[in-house]
Amino acid sequence: MKNGTCRTPPRLCDSNITINALDPDTFAGDSRAVIDFLAGYYGDVERYPVQSEAEAGSLRRVLPDAAPETGEAIDGILEDVGQHILPGLTHFQSPNFFAYYPANASTAGFVGEMLCAGLNVVPFTWAASPMATELECLMLDWMGKLMCLPDRFLFSGSGGGGGVLHGSTCESVVCTLAAARDRALKRLMTHEAILKLVVYASDQSHTTFQKGARIVGIPPSNFRVIPTSAASSYGLTAESVRDAVEADLASGLVPLYLCATVGTTGVGAVDPVGELGEVARRYGMWLHVDAAYAGSALICPEFQGYMEGAELADSVSMNPHKWFLTNMDCCCLWVATPSQLTSEYLNDVSSCDAEGRRWWTTRTGRLPWHADSAPSSCGSFSGGTARRAYGRTSGGMWRWPSGWSRCSRPTSGSRWWRRGDSRWCASASDHDHDHDHDHAQVAMEMAKCKLLKASILLRWWTP
pLDDT-derived band at 387 (thresholds 50, 70, 90) equals very low
Residue 148 has pLDDT above 70, yes or no: yes
Confidence at residue 4, expressed as pLDDT on a 0 to 100 scale: 53
- Residue 190 · residue 437 · CB < 8 Å: no
Confidence at residue 238, expressed as pLDDT on a 0 to 100 scale: 96
Confidence at residue 309, expressed as pLDDT on a 0 to 100 scale: 94
Confidence at residue 350, expressed as pLDDT on a 0 to 100 scale: 46
- Residue 359 · residue 366 · CB < 8 Å: yes
- The mean-pLDDT minimum among 74-88, 135-149, 274-288, 446-460 falls in 446-460
Confidence at residue 216, expressed as pLDDT on a 0 to 100 scale: 92
Please state, in angstroms and rounded to a whole number, the distance separating the CA atoms of residues 245 and 4: 61
Residue 254 has pLDDT above 50, yes or no: yes
- Residue 263 · residue 294 · CB < 8 Å: yes
Confidence at residue 212, expressed as pLDDT on a 0 to 100 scale: 92
Confidence at residue 95, expressed as pLDDT on a 0 to 100 scale: 87
Q: Which CATH number fits domain 24-88: 1.10.390.10, 2.30.30.230, 1.20.1300.10, 1.20.1340.10?
A: 1.20.1340.10
Higher pLDDT, residue 397 or 351: 351
Q: Which residues pair with 197 in a beta bridge?
A: 254
Most confident of 31-40, 65-74, 346-355, 402-411: 31-40
Mean of the per-residue pLDDT values of the chain: 76
pLDDT in tens, 282-320: 999 999 999 998 999 999 999 999 999 999 999 999 998
Residue 88 has pLDDT above 70, yes or no: yes
Higher pLDDT, residue 440 or 380: 440
Confidence at residue 15, expressed as pLDDT on a 0 to 100 scale: 59
Query: Where in the chain do CATH 3.40.640.10 domains reside?
Result: 130-365
C-alpha R_g of the chain: 26
pLDDT in tens, 400-455: 334 434 334 334 443 333 333 333 333 333 344 444 454 445 444 444 444 443 33
Sign of the Cα pseudo-torsion (295, 207, 334, 188, in order): positive
Residue 354 has pLDDT above 50, yes or no: no
Confidence at residue 190, expressed as pLDDT on a 0 to 100 scale: 85
- Give 432-441 contacts, CB < 8 A, sequence gap 24+: 432/403, 433/403, 434/403, 435/461, 437/191, 437/401, 437/402, 437/403, 438/401, 438/403, 440/191, 441/191, 441/401
- 51: CB partners within 8 A, 6+ apart: 90
Confidence at residue 205, expressed as pLDDT on a 0 to 100 scale: 92
For residues 161-186, average pLDDT:
91
Class of domain 130-365: alpha beta
- 95: CB partners within 8 A, 6+ apart: 45, 46
Confidence at residue 301, expressed as pLDDT on a 0 to 100 scale: 93
- Give 224-230 contacts, CB < 8 A, sequence gap 24+: 224/198, 224/199, 224/200, 224/248, 225/201, 226/200, 226/201, 226/202, 227/202, 227/203, 228/202, 228/203, 228/204, 228/269
Of the candidates 160, 133, 155, 130, the one whose C-alpha atom is nearest the C-alpha of residue 144 is 155
Query: Where in the chain do CATH 1.20.1340.10 domains reside?
Result: 24-88
Q: In what order do the strands lie in the sheet with 414-419?
A: 404-406, 422-428, 414-419
pLDDT-derived band at 7 (thresholds 50, 70, 90) equals low
